[in-house]
Amino acid sequence: MSDPTVPDAERMPSAIDRAYGRGATLLAGLMSLAAIAFALDVPRRIGLQLYTEQYLALILALTLGIAFLKSPRFPGPWRAIDALLAALGFGAAMYIAVRYPVLVNELVYRPLDGTIISVVLTLLATEAVRRATGWGLTLVVVGFLIYGLVGHLLPFGMSRQILPDRLFIYVAADTNGMIGLPLMVAATVVYAFILMGQVLEKSGGSAFFNDLSLALVGRAKGGAAKIAVVSSFLFGSVSGSAVANVVASGVVTIPMMKKAGYKPKVAAAVEALASTGGQLAPPIMGAAAFLMAEFLQISYATVVLAAVIPTLLYYGSIILYVHVHASANDLSIPADVEVPRAGEVLRDGWHFVLPFVILIWTLFWLNWRPELAALAAAASLAVLALFVPYRGERARVRDILAVLPGTGVAVVEIIAISAVAGIVIGVLNITGLSFSLTLSLVKLAEGSVFVLLLIAALVSIVLGMGMPTVGVYVLLASLIGPALIQAGLDPVASHMFLLYFGMLSMITPPVALASFTAASMARANPMGDRVPGGQDGLGRLSHPVHDRVRAGARHADRLGRDGVERDPRRCGRGLRHRRDLRLDVPPPRRGGAAGPRRARPRRAVADPPLSGDQPASQRPRHPRRSPAPRRHLAVGAGGEPIPHVTEFLKMKKIDAFNHIWPEKFFEALIAEIGTMTAITKRSGDVPMMTNLDRRFEVMDMFGPEYQQILSLASPPLEKFGAPDVAVKLGRIGSEEMAKLCQEHPDRFPGFIGTVPVTAPDRMVEECRHAVEDLGALGMQIFTNVEGRPMDLAEFEPLYEYMASAGKPLWLHPARAENFADYQSESRSEYEIWWTFGWPYETSAAMARLVFSKMFDKYPGLTVITHHAGGMVPFFEGRVGPGWDQMGKRTSDRDLSVARTSLKRPHLEYFKEFYADTASFGSRKAIEHAIEFFGEDRVVFASDAPFDPEGGPMYIRETIEIVDALDISEELRAKIYHGNIAALTGLKL
- The whole-number pLDDT of residue 76 equals 65
Q: Name the residue among 958, 886, 418 with its Cα closest to residue 657.
A: 958
Q: Name the residue among 984, 942, 988 with its Cα closest to residue 775.
A: 984
- φ, ψ of residue 865 to 5 degrees: the values are -95, 135
Lowest mean pLDDT among 274-278, 444-448, 605-609, 772-776: 605-609
Mean of per-residue pLDDT scores for the chain:
77
- The whole-number pLDDT of residue 817 equals 77
What's at 607, amino acid-wise?
Answer: D
Which pLDDT band, with edges at 50, 70 and 90, does 958 fall under?
Answer: very high
Q: Which residues of 689-720 are buried (b: 16+ CB within 10 A; e: fewer)?
A: bbbbbbbbbbbbebbbbbbbbbbbbbbbbbbb
Mention every residue, 6+ apart, whose C-beta is less than 8 A from residue 673: 432, 720, 721, 725
pLDDT reading at 562 higher than 50: no
- The whole-number pLDDT of residue 119 equals 94
- φ, ψ of residue 875 to 5 degrees: the values are -120, 45
Average pLDDT over residues 679-696: 72
**What residues form DSSP beta bridges with 157?**
none
Mention every residue, 6+ apart, whose C-beta is less than 8 A from residue 705: 649, 650, 651, 652, 653
More confident residue, 175 or 960: 960
More confident residue, 543 or 657: 657
Please check whether residue 422 is in contact with residue 187, taking contact to mean a CB–CB distance below 8 angstroms.
no
Largest Cα–Cα distance of the chain, in whole Å?
A: 106
Which pLDDT band, with edges at 50, 70 and 90, does 49 fall under?
Answer: confident
- % of the chain surpassing 90 pLDDT: 20
Q: Quickly list H helices, 511-565.
A: 513-522, 534-554
- The whole-number pLDDT of residue 884 equals 63
- φ, ψ of residue 393 to 5 degrees: the values are -125, 140
What's at 766, amino acid-wise?
Answer: E
Q: Name the residue among 181, 592, 253 with its Cα closest to residue 422.
A: 181
Average pLDDT over residues 254-279: 86
Average pLDDT over residues 408-423: 88
- φ, ψ of residue 340 to 5 degrees: the values are -75, 165
Lowest mean pLDDT among 140-154, 405-419, 587-601: 587-601
pLDDT reading at 375 higher than 70: yes
- The whole-number pLDDT of residue 48 equals 82
Average pLDDT over residues 286-290: 74
Q: How many CA atoms lie within 13 A of 781 on its CB side?
A: 30
Structural domains of the chain, with CATH: 8-135 (no CATH), 651-984 (3.20.20.140)
- The whole-number pLDDT of residue 97 equals 92
pLDDT reading at 725 higher than 70: yes
Question: How far apart (Å, rounded) are the C-alpha atoms in residues 585 and 539?
Answer: 11
- The whole-number pLDDT of residue 526 equals 63
Q: How far is CA 458 from CA 442, 498, 755, in A?
A: 15, 10, 45
Please check whether residue 904 is in contact with residue 841, taking contact to mean a CB–CB distance below 8 angstroms.
no
DSSP string for residues in 450-482: HHHHHHHHHHHHHHHTT--HHHHHHHHHHHTHH
Q: Quickly list H helices, 240-263.
A: 242-260
Lowest mean pLDDT among 230-239, 762-771, 941-950: 230-239
Which pLDDT band, with edges at 50, 70 and 90, does 571 fall under?
Answer: very low
pLDDT reading at 943 higher than 60: yes
Kindly state the DSSP code that residue 641 receives in the 8-state scheme.
B
Question: How far apart (Å, rounded) are the C-alpha atoms in residues 424 and 468?
Answer: 15
Please check whether residue 810 is in contact with residue 783, taking contact to mean a CB–CB distance below 8 angstroms.
no
Please check whether residue 425 is in contact with residue 170, taking contact to mean a CB–CB distance below 8 angstroms.
no
Mention every residue, 6+ apart, whose C-beta is less than 8 A from residue 693: 447, 488, 611, 620, 621, 622, 628
- Cα–Cα–Cα angle for 881, 887, 890, nearest 5°? 125
**What residues form DSSP beta bridges with 916?**
939
Which pLDDT band, with edges at 50, 70 and 90, does 322 fall under?
Answer: confident
pLDDT reading at 710 higher than 90: yes
Which pLDDT band, with edges at 50, 70 and 90, does 852 fall under?
Answer: confident
Average pLDDT over residues 473-500: 83
- The whole-number pLDDT of residue 156 equals 63
Q: How many CA atoms lie within 13 A of 827 on its CB side?
A: 16
pLDDT reading at 146 higher than 50: yes
Question: How far apart (Å, rounded) are the C-alpha atoms in residues 152 and 148?
Answer: 8
pLDDT reading at 59 higher than 90: yes
- The whole-number pLDDT of residue 930 equals 92
Question: How far apart (Å, rounded) are the C-alpha atoms in residues 502 and 242?
Answer: 12
Question: How far apart (Å, rounded) are the C-alpha atoms in residues 317 and 584?
Answer: 9
pLDDT reading at 13 higher than 70: no
Kindly state the DSSP code that residue 588 receives in the 8-state scheme.
P
